Amino acid sequence: MKTATALLALVVAFYARDARATAPHPMLPPALAKAVAEFDRAQMQGDGAALGRLLADDYVLFNSRGLVEDKAAFIHDYTAPGTSMKPFTVEDEVVRHWPGGAVLGGVATLEGTSEGKPYKVRLRFADIWAERDGRWQVVFTEATRAPAP
């Protein structure tokens, strides 16, 4: 039990830090690293305003159920009443960056509630980022179910 408590404290401390301190990839431009950390935090906190800023207006998601969603549907998925997400870790990371764009992805086990119903799903995902008008936004995501480790 002490180990679980210590692990939980580490996870909470990690996500409670400033976005610059939690930037997952120090080799990325600071503005992109900050946006990536904010995007992860906005999903976990159900922050619709932040998601609205971080998703491009023409955002598209190919979700793990084989459906296509737009920006409004994605934001609804994370902000609907009774919806929450626990902190997660990305494994098998993929990081590719070029001037004005990036792909960040990997595998994550996501757990929480969706409109009051518990869920736990392991997904392989890729987020495509673009720098537009001086700010970084996600323009496309693909998510597929991943096998258990």
Three-point CA angle 124, 146, 48, nearest 5°: 45
Q: What is the pLDDT along the chain (149 residues), one digit of tens a residue?
A: 333 323 323 333 333 333 333 445 668 999 999 999 999 999 999 999 999 999 999 999 999 999 999 999 999 999 999 999 999 999 999 999 999 999 999 999 999 999 899 999 999 999 999 999 999 999 999 999 999 88
pTM of the model: 0.81
| Structural domain count, the chain | 1
Question: b/e per residue, 53-71, with b = 16+ CB within 10 A?
Answer: ebbbeebbbbbbeeeebeb
Q: Which range marks the domain in which residue 88 is found?
A: 2-145
The enclosing domain of 45 has a CATH number of: 3.10.450.50
